[in-house]
Amino acid sequence: MYLFTGQRDHKIDGKDRIVVPSAYATAITATGKGVVYLVPGPDGGCLEAYPGDVFEAMAGGQVPNRFDGDLARKRAFFSNAERCELTGPGRISIPDRFLALFPQREVRICGFNTYLELWDPRRWEVEVGSGIRVDGGKPPPKA
């Protein structure tokens, strides 16, 4: 069982790799078979990174059945997934087709319970911000 929390920023190196934070990488290596599956988020603004065992459990519950469920969503999800092995000190390669999501070659890796999200840090700030709310839910004032 995973409980991914927090966020870290990393640069994409010259070989299109990022370092997965060590606590995340250790958990993925120990129980996730040392693999993550990268899938574009539902709005296309980020990548979701599912540990191998989480992705396989999801797949087991989504066996295509032409008479049940939303086949278009299933097709889009699974056909866009890319399997990535953790190598060396917890590195993964970002497939070429996903690199455009990170125009500054920086990635914010965010814990999201049982999986990770990979965001362009600037887009994260616009769409999510700090997430800290004060004064009845209003965002804190800008400094």
pLDDT at 136 over 70: no
Give me the mean pLDDT over the 5-11 stretch: 95
4 φ/ψ angles, rounded to the nearest 5 degrees: -85, 125
At 50, the pLDDT band (50, 70, 90 cuts) reads very high
Tokens of 9: 């920023």
SS3 track for the chain: CCCECCEEEEECCCCCEEECCHHHHHHHHHHCCCEEEEEECCCCCCEEEEEHHHHHHHHHCCCCCCCCCCHHHHHHHHHCCEEEECECCCEEECCHHHHHHCCCCEEEEEEEECEEEEECHHHHHHHCCCCCCECCCECCCCC
pLDDT at 131 over 80: no
Check residue 13 and give its pLDDT.
97
Q: Whole-prediction pTM value? A: 0.84
76 φ/ψ angles, rounded to the nearest 5 degrees: -65, -40
Tokens of 116: 């990770």
In percent, the amount of the chain with pLDDT more than 90 equals 64
Check residue 57 and give its pLDDT.
86
Check residue 71 and give its pLDDT.
80
Encode pLDDT of 9-34 as tens digits.
Answer: 999 999 999 999 999 999 999 987 89
More confident residue, 43 or 137: 43
Judging by beta carbons within 10 Å of its beta carbon (0-12, 13-18, 19+), is residue 74 exposed, middle or buried? middle
